[in-house]
Amino acid sequence: MIERLGREVDLSNNTRLRALHFKFINFGEDEDLTWILKIISQVTSSRMNELVFHISVRRVEDLKVLDWGALSNILEKSLFSTSLQRVHFIIDGGLWPKKAESYIRRSLRYFDVRGTLFVDCPERG
């Protein structure tokens, strides 16, 4: 059902969109996360400055379900690439949050070098 979001949600008319938050995204081997790429590629706002992903990851390998190269290309070539000040990942779950952080930083190196990539791994209490 969630995959339908990419087909049914259209953000192209939101020309003043400043932030986009994705919450409760489960990264797992059976997940299809192409809908995320479709939604982000629809953004036509040149004012967007924040993109936040709150993700659940059990294993670092689960991060491979997202096409990180495509995500990076979409973000780098978007209308909002120059206004984007923060690409933020909040990682929940898993035993190896630092490895997950490292994977994300390698995958989105352009934003890491620019200082606009933020990765938080809050400890579970």
- For 75-116, give the DSSP string: HHHSTTTTT--EEEEEEES-S-HHHHHHHHHHHTHHHHHHT-
pLDDT over 80 (residue 20): yes
Q: Does 13 reside within a domain?
A: no
Q: Work out the pLDDT band at 99, boundaries 50, 70, 90.
A: confident
Q: Does 125 reside within a domain?
A: no
Q: Does 87 reside within a domain?
A: yes
- Full-prediction pTM beyond 0.85? yes
pLDDT at residue 66, rounded to an integer: 94
pLDDT at residue 9, rounded to an integer: 81
Q: Does 104 reside within a domain?
A: yes
In this structure, are strands 86-92 and 117-120 parallel, antiparallel, or unpaired? parallel
Q: Does 114 reside within a domain?
A: yes
Give strand pairing partners of 58.
none
